[in-house]
Chain A
Amino acid sequence: MHLIYQIFIDPFVQMGNAPDLLVQTLWEGLVAGVLYSLIALGFVLIFKASGVFNFAQGIMVVFAALTLVGFYEHGIPAYLALALTVAVMFGLAFAVERAMLRPLVNQPDIILFMATFGLTYFLIGFGELVFGGDPKVMIASQLGLPKGAVEIKMAGGFVSLQKIDIAAAIIASLMVAALAVFFQKTRVGRALRAVADSHKAALSVGISLEYIWVIVWFAAGLVALATGIMWGARSEVSFALEIIALKALPVLILGGFTSIPGAIIGGVIIGVGEKIGEFYWGPLLGSGIETWLAYVIALVFLLFRPQGLFGERIIERI
């Protein structure tokens, strides 16, 4: 009886008692969700355009951030370092297309998925070799990102919103809008969608796969860079980020693998769900349920709606 009270009543009572804490938690969840969405966005880009599920998206975030900081630490001014990192991400996209995607064209999706595992581990090793394994500080202020917090008084307490988080939310929204327009309206965007449907068919209408893939992996690389900057500015840049990036998978399951708005909404749901769950129900179970709550939410979702909120239902023809 006491247990039922603890699970179903008490957390809501707590929420009511301290609404400012609730809002703070919601805000934290929203921010985490935005960051998850950004990672998921990179996945969606590549999946939408090439049918490849790029497991290495997480490590690309870390890699981009490390490269940026690395350049800066070698004395290169911040904006130039940014430009150089963009060039590096282009180089990475090019290398991945050449060495990995081209030889594996037409292979079943699961093979390409496993190849991105290999890419992930390669980049982990390579990144650690070149940059060292220590966490680094993101050059946030040098890039013009705001510092400090905004405090809002409410309901007997106050809520503190970090300015960097607000900036992250704004930048994420802008990126999403830009990408959505790109896919729907431009010629290249249409070509990307064709490639996602069928490599062979796209080739036969004259779409150059290599060109498309370099573009899309580069775009994903840019998203990864933006994510890395935002995330690094909030905490620090380290390889631990790579595991957190796995959280993008539940986001994609919720949002659907091919939907850009889905990635955002899925990310927010997961972020908020996690934080609320951890804060109000976590102490009941022993803390740290954040590590698996997202996956369990996704699992439950899969059982009832396998294609996610926005994904396409695939009908198998026999």
Chain B
Amino acid sequence: MLYREVGQYKTNYAADMSVMPLIQDRVGIGIILFIAAVIIPYFGNAFLIQAIMIPFLVFSLAAIGLNLLTGYTGLLSLGTGAFMGVGAYACYKLTTYFPGVNILIWIIASGLFSAVVGVVFGLPSLRIKGFYLAVATLAAQFFLSWCFIRQPWFYNYNASGAIEVPTRTLFGIPVTGATAADATRYYVVLGIVVAMTWLASNLVHGRIGRMWMAVRDMDLAAELIGIRLLRTKLLAFAVSSFYCGVAGALLVFQWYGSAEPAVFDVNLSFFILFMVIIGGLGSLTGSYLGAALIFILPIVLRYIPPHLGIPIRPATVDHIQYMVIGALIVLFLIVEPNGLARLWQIGKQKLRVWPFPY
């Protein structure tokens, strides 16, 4: 009853093809954005913003990036961590060489570097498919990780091997570095992530999204209707890596404040992949849901038991986290391979006819 589409008629094709044709959806998104932009910064404490919201948004962006490649185009990638790393290190080098330029420009530009690297490592996709391609992305992952550790140029020949984020300002307000306020960093991340989500949504609802999904579903048939496979796959690699690169730059510049190369290892790749699997392959909403579940879970495990009086060691939290995530992956693949996004859709479907059962 609440989620009725009856009465909302469209009189032209453009209106019918809009991304959110139903008023309820638009209102819902509006409310979410309002909460994100106003309620949370105003009422939330530093912990909520710094340790939960900012990383959640950053991981959602990375999950969207991977989802575009794996969920929409069907190209399994285990190199997400490395592509994020390229973005982070690119941003670091760019702002080292050109400290006067607006950091936001560099954050976006670092995505371009990541896109180029993504295309290079995506070239094999012309000849290899499926999990052979996954092994190629592993090559990218290990090679790039090695670069970040062993090629001192990346970390400006720092003795520690790590990179430290310098303070940069925007309109006089510190945006990165130790002096940047939580709220400032939150707004930067929120702004970028929301904008990029909107762009991704536009892409997947139009011609390019259809091309990607066609390649995923049956690439032979896609070729037959005139889709150029290599171009489409490389575009997917480029856009996906762009998103992961920006996410990596945001991860270092707006969340951690510094980074060791070990951050962008193969485990990060797997974590983002798990977010995409659990959230739902081929769904932008799913990317957010998956990121929320995988990211919030360890926090819940870490803080709830002490609240309830059950003592739990941090190491144990890690172990249980791995077990729960592993079990959830298998569970979701068995029960709902389309992930949380599909469960959400089923929920909306029920809302359509509520209070009637069907």
Contacts and interface: CB of A to CB of B under 8 A. Distances in A.
Touch between chains A and B, by CB atoms below 8 Å: yes
Interface stretch (B225-233, B247-255, B326-334): B326-334
Contacts of A246: 138, 266
A99 B331 CA distance: 9
A45 B273 CA distance: 26
B321 interface: yes
A286 B333 CA distance: 42
Interface string B95-134: 0000000000000000000000000000010011011100
Interface stretch (B52-60, B177-185, B204-212, B311-319): B311-319
Interface of A: 53, 99-100, 103-104, 107, 109-111, 113-115, 117-126, 128-129, 133, 243, 246, 249-250, 253, 286-289, 291-292, 295-296, 298-299, 302-303, 306, 316, 318
B131 A119 contact: no
Contact of A117 (B143, B273, B334): B273
B329 A303 contact: no
B124 A119 contact: no
A316 B219 CA distance: 12
The 10 A-B residue pairs with the shortest CB-CB distance in the complex, in nearest-first order: A122-B326, A118-B329, A125-B322, A125-B323, A295-B139, A121-B326, A292-B142, A118-B330, A129-B319, A286-B150
B131 A118 contact: no
A114 B329 CA distance: 8
10 contacts: A117-B326, A118-B327, A121-B270, A125-B322, A129-B319, A291-B145, A296-B139, A298-B135, A303-B127, A303-B128
A287 B334 CA distance: 43
B132 A302 contact: yes
State which size class the interface on B falls in: 35 or more
A298 B333 contact: no
A306 B143 contact: no
Q: Which of B266, B277, B329 has the most CB of A within 10 A?
A: B329
Given A289-B146, A295-B139, A118 B333 contact: yes
A126 B319 contact: yes
A295 B138 contact: yes
B35 interface: no
Given A117-B329, A122-B327, A253-B135, A110 B322 contact: no
Contacts of A303: 124, 127-128
A119 B143 contact: no
Q: Is the interface of A mostly helix, strand, loop or mixed?
A: helix
Interface of B: 76, 124, 127-128, 130-132, 135-136, 138-139, 142-143, 145-146, 149-151, 220, 266, 270, 273-274, 277, 315-316, 318-330, 333-334, 337
B143 A295 contact: yes
Nearest to A113: B131
A99 B318 CA distance: 23
Contacts of A115: 329-330, 333-334
Contacts of A122: 322-323, 325-327, 330
Given A111-B337, A249-B135, A295-B142, 18 more contacts: A110-B76, A111-B333, A117-B274, A121-B323, A121-B329, A122-B325, A123-B326, A125-B321, A125-B325, A125-B326, A133-B315, A250-B135, A288-B150, A291-B146, A299-B135, A299-B139, A306-B128, A306-B132
A103 to B, nearest CB: 4
A115 B334 CA distance: 9
Given A125-B319, A128-B322, A291-B145, A299 B124 contact: yes
Contacts of A114: 277, 329, 333
